[in-house]
Amino acid sequence: MKPTPQIWSRRSALKAVAASGTAMLANSMFHRISAAETALPFALQGKINHSVCRWCYPSIPLADLCQAAKDMGISGIDLVGPDEWPVLEQYGLHAALPHGAGKGITEGFNDPRLHDELVANYETMIPKVAAAGYDQLICFSGNRNGLDDEQGIRNCASGLKRLMDTAEKHGVTLVMELLNSKVDHPDYQCDHTAWGVAVCDEMGSERFKLLYDIYHMQIMEGDVIATIRKYSPYIAHYHTGGVPGRNEIDETQELNYPAIMKAIVETGFKGHVAQEFIPKRPDPLASLKQAITICDVG
């Protein structure tokens, strides 16, 4: 199936980031900016652990993104693989949500035919994540392909349970992403919070939780703050994004991010909140800086 534009933007950006050499990056249009430009004019309040998704900044060399992130008080980078971890280490940053073990968004644990391959991949990656000092790893349900929701829950749990001994041994949590199936990821099965929670309940392990993507769940079900309050024990990680469009999270879109961040803080959440919007303005790092300011709540 031909990917939708949004699927392709994330996939292609990740591939470009992974495959690009320094020569291509040196020829990018990215203008290096000084710490004075990227640093916030105030100290962060420290109630939100900030991260940023690598794939949203494909034209910026990873080292420059890390430096800018550090200047802004961001402590993590999301969706980076083992080849990129040494760069993060140089800047004292955490791979808040690594990737690299799965087959992609559309092919996941709801398909038993993929279980052997996925289990082998994750069995290899989980120890690497732990050895690097990280404690989470992303995973996906996969597309429905005609599968009903109850069977999808059982299939996911069946495959994922095979990994729990390894995950528990190494202290790594597998985090399944909630994505919308209306706009960006047609037919994706883990597209409602309650469905993901049902998988968690079937698993019965603290080493399996959810990535609550605020952008995606606003599209699918709304009621973001009430959902966060209700299901906070099941959530290990958050992503942001402006609705509609998945762009900047300021007044140009419909979500009240300061209120959402306050609700997250009130649940006692200690994990990372990662910016995963696609900057549409000429200076993407200025948009990132603005987003961190918006999300820095007391």
pLDDT of residue 18: 46
Mean pLDDT of the chain: 90
> Which CA distances in Å does 219 have to 19, 78, 155, 183?
32, 22, 26, 8
Do β-strands 49-53 and 136-139 pair in parallel, antiparallel, or remain unpaired?
unpaired
List the chain domain ranges: 41-295
162-187 confidence digits (pLDDT tens): 999 999 999 999 999 999 999 999 99
Looking up tokens 């729990």 gives 164
Does the structural domain 41-295 have CATH classification 1.10.1740.10? no
Q: Where are the beta strands (DSSP E) in 12-128?
A: 49-53, 76-78, 94-97
pLDDT of residue 38: 72
Output the CA torsion 31→285→247→91 (10° steps).
110
pLDDT of residue 31: 45
Percent of the chain residues topping a pLDDT of 70: 87
66-117 confidence digits (pLDDT tens): 999 999 999 999 999 999 999 999 999 999 999 999 999 999 999 999 999 9
